[in-house]
Structures are given as C-alpha cells and as structure tokens.
Chains A and B, each alone.
Chain A
Amino acid sequence: MADAGITLDGIEVAYFANSFGGLLTGQESIRGQVVLHDAGLRGIPIVNVENACASGATALWAAIRAVRSEEFDVALAVGAEKMFVGDTRRTLAALRTAADVETTAGQGLQFVAIYAMRLQSYLDDGTLSPEHLARVTTKNQRNGALNPDAQFREPMSDEEVLAARAVAGPLTLPMVSGISDGAAAVVVTGQPPSDGVAVRIRASTLQTGGVDGLDEPAVGRAVSLAYEEADIGPEDLSVAEVHDTVGPAEFMRYVELGLCEPAEVGAFFDSGATGPGGRIPVNPSGGLTARGHPVGATGLAQAVELLQQLRGRAGDRQVEDCRIALAQNSGGWLDGDSAVCAVHVFERIAA
C-alpha cells in the first residue's frame, strides 16, 4: 500500500493467489477472505485464484482485466504460500498434485524428472555441458545475494553446486527450487501516479497447455501473444524474470523467449548476455532457486522485481537503462506440456 501511495480503502477488488493452502494447511474455499480479512480489507470482492505455480501471474492477469474493463479503478493482486509444514514429504506430495493425478499417480516426481530429461538431452547433444547447469545456478545465486527479499543469499561455487547431492539425472540440490514461505503483491490502477515514474502494462497473456502434443506448447504461445500485444520483439527487452523451477530451465526459457536459437543456448549464456550488465539480464531477483518459489506468490514476486527494476529501485542489482521488462510464469503439467503459462510485459513511462 505504501509503495502504491494508497490506503486499504483505495482497493476496490482483490485477487488472492495460493496453490497448496488446502493440502498443506487444510484451509480451503475462502483462503483469500481469511488472509485479507486479517490484513484489514473489508467487504470488497475477493476472488480466490489457484493455477499451480502460475497462480500469482494469473491473479495479476485477472486484476489487469478488472481495471481494463473500467469496472474498477484499483485492483490488488496478492499471492501467498506457506510450504514449510514440518514434513518435506507432505510438501513434495502436494507439489506432485499439480498434474492430472489420474494419469500420473505412482510415477514419482514428474516435474523434476521432465526438466531433468530435457536438460539431459541438451547435455547429450553437446548443446550444454554440466558446468553450464552449475554456472546458470550460481549466476542466479549471486543475483539473489544482492536481493534483500531473496530466500537463499549465500552464493556457492560452481564446483560446490556440481558436487552437491544429486536430485535427478544431472540436477543437484542447489539447481532445484526449494521449499518456500512467501508473499508478494501488485496494485493495478488505470490512474498513474502524478509524480515519479509509472509502469504501463504492455501485454498480459494467459495460455493453457496443449493436449497430446497437438498444439504449440503453452509457454511459446503465451510469449508470442505477449510480443504481439506489446508490439515488440525479444530484441526490445531490457530485462526478464523467467520461471526456472530448476535453475537450468532458464536455458529453455532463452529459446522460448526467442533470445537465441536452441543450438546456441550455451554460447548465448557464455557471452554473458543474461548476467549483470549483459544485453538482457535474466532473473536479476535470483529466480526461483535463489529468490525462492512460494508457489502462489512467485508470479507476483517476478512482477515486483521488474517493477522495482523499471522504477530504478533495485539497489545493487539494478539493470541499467531499464525500459521494457518481461515476466514468464508457468505451472502444472498436462499431457506433456505446462498446464498454464502467463506472460506480462511492462514498460517504464515518465509521469
């Protein structure tokens, strides 16, 4: 509220994102009402949003539409997740439910397995080396160390990452997003502040995963539609926050965002393009592995990072000359595709 320069009374509608509160705390049905009542919101419409790891960006997507429709002037998108419940197996079991459980029951940690298989094929064809998997992880750890809101703030060496406990195939524990408690919120309004720097929403897209491999994957579709809506291309981006459930998934995002060709992801990363001071810094917040992955809050945490970057308030991790920013938030697993993907493009505008 302080950052938006408004009070709680200025909020006209709220979208509350959470994914696992029911399974992990037992709170079902009215999670947003319970949480926001406690925060002091009274009486206004509150809509509960659940869309796996993309719940946060989905709440933002809905809040943007509330304002775009002109029915509301000020909408709140807020996401929160409580994943530490004293039993890691219970949390992992909850994460496993973000799939068609009838199809996937009994087949293990399929999310991590799928990312590991895709990255293994990059290793097999020589596109990436094991060191790449470590170096993208430590790049994001160093970013996270500069982010006061990050969960993990102590960078490791590449050697330490490679030598850490194996999780799946070539992936070690530091390469995989951990268990997080966290929250993030964004206020959307049609009335930009009269002073200072405002941020305009240039694109807001939400797509659902393809069935049986018949359609283009959801992430690619959501990205293409966002570029179209914003009337920009990947070359126009100043910075991006991408959904790296496992840190090295960032390499797949480079391709999906059109930043480089599939065969060039290793060389593209090696050029430093996505690191601090590079052509397009990616995950300056630290990404999911360092900033943390409180599932329902993640998409909004990405947006918060980009809003800070665009307004020049990102402190030691500030991206220079930051004008256009993209957030990609995906979640769930359905028939060989991400079940959900939301993409937002933000632009800095002078007041």
Chain B
Amino acid sequence: MERVRVVDGEARLVGSRCASCGHKTFPRRNRCPACRAPEPVQETMLGPGGTVEHSISLYVSTDESEAPYSVGMIRLDDGPTVLSRIVGGAGAGAQVRVLADPESDAFWFAPAADANATARPHAA
C-alpha cells in the first residue's frame, strides 16, 4: 500500500475521501466506512499539518525502532487521526507536519515550526 507521496516537494499522506458524505480516511480505503456508499472513494492527499493529541516516549527498542523514541496520536488538519513516530519533541497540543520517505513508504511527524526538520527517526 502506498502510504506517502511527495507532492510539489512536500510530503503528504495518501488517504481517501468519500464522494457521497465527504468522510476522509487514512490510509486509503476502497469503500467509505462511514456511509458505506456503493461508489468507490476518491484518493486524496492528507496533511501535511496536524496537531498532537497525545504523545509518549518509548524506552524499549524493537526490530524497527531504536529507543528512546516518541509515538503520538496526531489529528490531521484534514480530519483523520494517525498513530505515528514523532521526532524533534512535540507534546500534546503541538502543531506538527508530516515528513516522508516515499522509497521506503515511511512517514513521521516533526514540529511544524522547525522548517529544517527532515531527520527520519532512527531505525534499529
């Protein structure tokens, strides 16, 4: 599944939008989960902006995440909520923007104010 795409030099999340009710999802779905309209949903680009609703630091490394690292629930300005790694320190209420590496289909969020933030989270 293609989760991210770079549009005009800016990372976006690949979601869907229902033509009938307008409900947006991430990731992209084939049918609208809200109204279950028979028509296929339309692909739409989500982000880059969002607000951190919750975030937490994790101190245990896994096969793909070297500790310590942060994970948060981010409410996209477009609506959907996304669980994601966060770099650069952004607690609840912070404005963040999505960054992505389309080659590995990876995405993460960084403080919106930090225009230079591009460092992807450290993988194990």
Chain B: which residue is nearest A166 at the CB level?
A: B59
Q: How far is the CA of A167 from the CA of B61 in the complex (A)?
A: 10
Residues of chain B within 8 A (CB-CB) of A89 are 61-63, 124
* B residues near A351, Cβ cutoff 8 Å: none
- Residue interface bits A79-99, CB-to-B below 8 A is 1, else 0: 000000000011011001000
Q: Are A117 and B55 in contact (CB under 8 A)?
A: yes
CB-based contact A109/B62 at 8 Å: yes
B23-43 with Cβ < 8 A to chain A:
23, 25-27, 33-34
Interface mask (B71-107 → A, CB under 8 Å = 1, otherwise 0): 1110000001101110000001000000000001111
Contacts of A212 in B (CB 8 A): 23, 25, 33-34, 80
The interface residues of chain A, by DSSP majority, are classed as helix
Q: Is B44 part of the binding interface, using a Cβ–Cβ cutoff of 8 Å?
A: no
**A168 contacts B63, C-beta separation under 8 Å:** no
B60: Cβ under 8 A from any A Cβ: yes
Q: How far is the CA of A117 from the CA of B91 in the complex (A)?
A: 11
Within 8 A of B (CB), among A283-329: none
A299 to B1, CA, bound (A): 33
Whether a CB of chain B sits under 8 angstroms from the CB of A104 is: yes
Closest chain B residue to A333, Cβ basis: B83
Kindly list 15 other residue pairs between chains A and B, CB separation below 8 angstroms, not including A103-B27, A105-B64, A117-B54: A89-B62, A102-B1, A103-B83, A106-B85, A106-B106, A106-B108, A107-B83, A108-B85, A109-B58, A109-B60, A117-B71, A120-B54, A169-B58, A212-B80, A214-B34
| Chain A residues near B (Cβ < 8 Å) | 89-90, 92-93, 96, 102-110, 112-114, 116-118, 120-121, 124, 165-169, 211-214, 336
